[in-house]
């Protein structure tokens, strides 16, 4: 029996370089960096000073823009809960509403629906938890009275299902930096295996605390040595001066539907999900595995019945780490062979930094927008290309490129890999 076709009918984004699809893609194509010095985090006592900071984003003003554009009951719940919840959860609610509005489905959500909600990520509310620990250490009585609720990862999925009144399966999945693709895989499974007509992939901001940044700096994972006084070029995949990834805020939501359901309601269709596969390297250490990555790419292509030469573009994981960038490129060359010379690759993290748990979803939105425009954003900050990089990585320039099928890589700490294969929708 053939699998149900799954399509993307709604997308939403919120990053430091755009809180709507048009601004987001235009700034990416223009090569605009999201990286600044942290202002919403106290960094005086820690090594790391730079990141993609949304801590001063006015989510309440953004929520107000939905007045008279969405059902009144939805707006009232969004306004009420978005004003009470911690910052990162409020952005999650806003982005989810934006995606369902973009899908043209927000007016069609009926009571008792079977819409699935899958949230990508774990330990999401780190700053909120860290701040409450400080309060506790000073005076336990003054800890936020709803800390036991607001501090839970499930508060994101609970908040989204409350605001939009989604009554299908709802849960949170965590796979470090592969979380977004793992959530996509779960959402596709809900549609193909469990007769869910609509599913949302919700990828929240990872609200970093100073403790998180210090721990990653001590481990050598993030940049902290060379760019504290000049942050915008800190994220530089493929450049010889790369020294670690740049942690950043960013959220995204995808609305998926079974094709027949989307067609029946006349929905616009952004793309078709051909497949998503996941694997483990069997190693808990943050050491990227060429064997694991290439094996998973091959498995995904085989499962989808797609030949390597049919892939036009790879939206790279490319975190700006010395080993990670090259391991991914070696894996690509192993899988695609001579076709590698015809591929185009780019690195969204060169501008966005690493949004961590939401990265695969944030970057999938970017990749779909590029596919439908036939134009790729540059990989910026490549002043001195690593001599091993012999693939077209869109070095410092945007490029016209026809894309029918693209691959989206995501590789997480703990040896967790997940890759998606996405096609331009042609009916």
Per-residue pLDDT at 190 exceeds 60: yes
pLDDT for residue 70: 98
Residue 148, burial from CB neighbour count under 10 angstroms (0-12, 13-18, 19+)? exposed
pLDDT for residue 3: 85
Residue 262 CA to residue 276 CA, distance in Å, equals 20
pLDDT band at 286 (very low <50, low <70, confident <90, very high): confident
pLDDT band at 183 (very low <50, low <70, confident <90, very high): very high
pLDDT digit string, tens, across residues 93-123: 999 999 999 999 999 999 999 999 999 999 8
Specify the DSSP class assigned to residue 113. Answer: -
Residue 400 falls in which region: left (phi positive, over 0), alpha (psi -120 to 50) or beta: beta
Helix (H) / strand (E) containing 51: strand 50-51
Per-residue pLDDT at 427 exceeds 80: no
Residue range 6-271 forms a domain whose CATH class is alpha beta
Report which of 343, 287, 263 is spatially closest to residue 310, judged by C-alpha positions: 343
Match 């700096």 to its residue by tokens: 217
Per-residue pLDDT at 334 exceeds 90: yes
Task: Return the structure tokens found at 346.
Answer: 């780019």
Per-residue pLDDT at 1 exceeds 90: no
Alpha-helical regions (H) of 199-321? 210-219, 259-264, 290-304
Per-residue pLDDT at 414 exceeds 80: yes
Report which of 290, 347, 330 is spatially closest to residue 28, judged by C-alpha positions: 347
pLDDT for residue 54: 97
pLDDT for residue 151: 85
Domain assignments of the chain as residue spans, ordered by start: 6-271, 276-423
* pLDDT, the chain, mean: 96
The answer to whether domain 6-271 and domain 276-423 are alike in fold is yes
Task: Return the structure tokens found at 21.
Answer: 């699809």
Specify the DSSP class assigned to residue 55. Answer: T
Residue 299 CA to residue 302 CA, distance in Å, equals 5
Per-residue pLDDT at 270 exceeds 60: yes
| CATH 3.40.47.10 is the classification of domain 276-423 | yes
Residues 6+ apart with CB under 8 A from 11: 21, 99, 102, 252, 253, 254, 255, 270, 365, 368, 369
Task: Return the structure tokens found at 92.
Answer: 């999650």
Residue 207 CA to residue 204 CA, distance in Å, equals 9
Averaged pLDDT for residues 150-156: 89
pLDDT digit string, tens, across residues 10-51: 999 999 999 999 999 999 999 999 999 999 999 999 999 999
Percent of residues, the chain, with pLDDT higher than 70: 100
User: Model-level pTM?
Assistant: 0.97
Cα radius of gyration rounded to whole Å, the chain: 20
Per-residue pLDDT at 289 exceeds 60: yes
């Amino acid at each position: 029996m053939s699998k149900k076709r799954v399509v993307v009918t709604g997308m939403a984004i919120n990053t430091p370089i755009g809180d709507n699809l048009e601004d987001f893609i235009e700034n990416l194509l223009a090569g605009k960096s999201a990286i600044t010095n942290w202002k919403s985090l106290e960094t005086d006592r820690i090594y790391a000073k730079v990141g993609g900071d949304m801590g001063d984003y006015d989510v309440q003003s953004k929520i107000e823009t939905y007045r008279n554009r969405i059902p009144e009951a939805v707006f009232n719940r969004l306004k009420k809960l978005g004003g009470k919840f911690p910052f990162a959860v409020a952005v999650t609610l806003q982005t989810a509403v934006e995606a369902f509005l973009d899908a043209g489905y927000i007016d069609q959500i009926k009571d008792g629906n079977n819409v699935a909600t899958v949230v990508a990520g774990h330990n999401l509310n780190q700053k909120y938890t860290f701040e409450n620990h400080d309060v506790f250490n000073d005076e336990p009585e003054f800890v936020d009275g709803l800390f036991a609720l607001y501090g839970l990862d499930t508060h994101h999925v609970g908040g989204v299902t409350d605001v939009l009144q989604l009554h299908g399966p709802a849960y949170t999945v965590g796979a470090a930096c592969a979380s977004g693709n793992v959530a996509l895989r779960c959402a596709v499974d809900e549609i193909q295996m469990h007769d869910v007509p609509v599913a949302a992939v919700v990828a929240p901001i990872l609200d970093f605390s100073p403790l998180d940044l210090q721990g990653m700096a001590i481990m050598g994972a993030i940049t902290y040595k060379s760019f504290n006084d000049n942050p915008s070029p800190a994220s530089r995949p493929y450049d010889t001066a790369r020294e670690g990834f740049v942690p950043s805020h960013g959220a995204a939501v995808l609305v998926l539907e079974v094709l027949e359901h989307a067609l029946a309601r006349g929905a616009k269709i952004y793309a078709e999900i051909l497949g998503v596969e996941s694997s483990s390297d069997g190693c808990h250490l943050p050491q990227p595995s060429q064997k694991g990555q290439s094996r998973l790419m091959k498995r995904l292509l085989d499962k989808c019945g797609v030949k390597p030469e049919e892939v036009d573009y790879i939206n790279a994981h490319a975190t700006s780490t010395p080993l990670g960038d090259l391991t991914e490129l070696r894996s690509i060359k192993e899988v695609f062979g001579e076709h590698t010379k015809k591929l185009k690759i780019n690195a969204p993290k060169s501008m966005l930094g690493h949004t961590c748990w939401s990265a695969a979803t944030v970057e999938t939105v970017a990749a779909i927008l590029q596919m439908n425009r036939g134009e790729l954003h540059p990989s910026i900050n490549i002043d001195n290309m690593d001599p091993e990089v012999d693939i077209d990585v869109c070095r410092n320039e945007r490029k016209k490129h026809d894309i029918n099928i693209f691959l989206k890589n995501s590789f997480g700490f703990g040896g967790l890999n997940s890759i998606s294969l996405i096609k331009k929708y042609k009916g």
